[in-house]
Structure 1
Amino acid sequence: MARTIAKDHDQKRSHILDTAAKKFATEGYDRVSMTKLAAACGVSKATIYHYYTSKEAILFDALDTYLHDLRDRVCALDVESEAPEEALYHVVREILMAYEGSDEIHRVQTTNLSNLSGDQQAILRVYQRDLVEFLSKVVERNAQGVFAGDKEKLRGITMSIFGMLNTYYMWEHAATRTDRETYALLVTDILLRGVRGL
């Protein structure tokens, strides 16, 4: 007879992933054992192993959940009917809003991909690539032919936007929603008008 899934299975799984992200971010992935993680979660080591076979499996699921949800949230935006500038602001703003409350897992993402297998890293890179391509299309609409098929330049601009957003996110932990909206507008203005046009 198949084992039934407990009603609070998803809740416990989320608790393990959230706790792991905090421990990995504050103590370092290499210093957090399954025993230490179980204690931090307030469960037995056996319970941790019931959900995950290894620490690597926890790391992968935490990053997979985060990046999958981020990709789906941003790429689901319906910006085709919006004016190019409005669409750019909409996407930039949504990325900043999606980052809200994700300090630990965001830090884990930037420092721990190398702890995963090549196949696992490839899965996560698909989410990242989808995000970059989505934003690139919005940037290209605003460029009005300036890139003329220069995909490298378009990618460079797109990655620069992500660089600005990630840096702001890492430095401005206490930013309010209004702060994020204001910064999203600043990023849009810098891209479209340059510093002299602000």
Structure 2
Amino acid sequence: MARTIAKDHDQKREQILKSAAKIFATEGFDRASMAQLAKECGISKANIYHYYDSKDAILYDILDSYLSELRDVVLSSDVAGLAPEDRLRRAIRNILRAYQGADHEHQVQLNALSALPEDQQDQMRAYQRDMVRFLSDCLRGAAPEVFGDDRAKLRAVTMSIFGMLNWYYMWNAGAGAEARETYADVVTDLTLKGLPGI
């Protein structure tokens, strides 16, 4: 007879992913052990294996869940009908807001994505490309005269914006929604107007 799924299966799985993200972010994926994960989760190692057959499977699920949800939030930004500059401002705000509460997952993405098999890395990069394309479109719309047909310049500026947003958690850990919105505006103004516009 097949084993039934516990009522709290999804909740336990989410707890494992959150705890694993913390351990992978603080200890490093290579150094983290299943015993550490079990201790952080407050459950037995055998119980973790009931949900995941390996540390690699946990890493994949952390990154797939985090990046697919992040991509969905970013791409569902309600920017239709806004002026081009406002569209860019809202997109940058939404990206930074979407990062809130996911510092460990974000660190795992930055530091451990390369531990996945190549096909799984490709899947994660596809999520990232979707977000880059969305921000690039907003950026080109806000300053078409700057970019023209220069795709290299557009990519450089787009990735520079992501660079500013991606490392925000390093020097402003625990920033709330208001601080994130203020910083998003700084990034937008710096991008569109340079230092005199801040």
Q: What's the TM-score bracket when you normalise by the shorter of the two chains?
A: over 0.9
Match of residue 161 from structure 1: 161
Match of residue 180 from structure 1: 180
Match of residue 61 from structure 1: 61
Distance 2:192 2:35 in 1: 51
Match of residue 82 from structure 1: 82
Give 4+ residue runs of structure 1 displaced > 3 Å after superposition.
Answer: none
Q: Which runs of 5+ in 1 are unaligned?
A: none
Give CA-to-partner distance per residue, 1:150-190, whole Å, 9 cap, x none: 11111111000001111223211132221111111111111
The amino acid of 1:144's aligned partner reads P
Distance 2:42 2:174 in 1: 28
Match of residue 50 from structure 1: 50
Are residues 152 and 107 of structure 1, via their aligned partners in 2, closer, same or farther at CA, if it must alter by over 3 Å?
A: same
Q: Sequence identity, in percent? A: 59
How big is the alpha-carbon RMSD for the aligned residues of Structure 1 and Structure 2?
1.3
Distance 2:128 2:153 in 1: 18
Distance 2:9 2:135 in 1: 35
TM-score between the two structures when normalised by the length of structure 1? 0.95
**173-182 or 65-74: which moved more?**
173-182
**142-151 or 80-89: which moved more?**
142-151
Distance 1:30 1:144 in 2: 44
How far has the Cα of 1:39 moved from its partner?
Answer: 2.4
How far has the Cα of 1:131 moved from its partner?
Answer: 0.5
> Secondary structure of the residue that 1:78 maps to in structure 2?
coil
Question: Does the aligned pair in 1 maintain the 2:23–2:36 contact within 8 Å?
Answer: no
Match of residue 135 from structure 1: 135
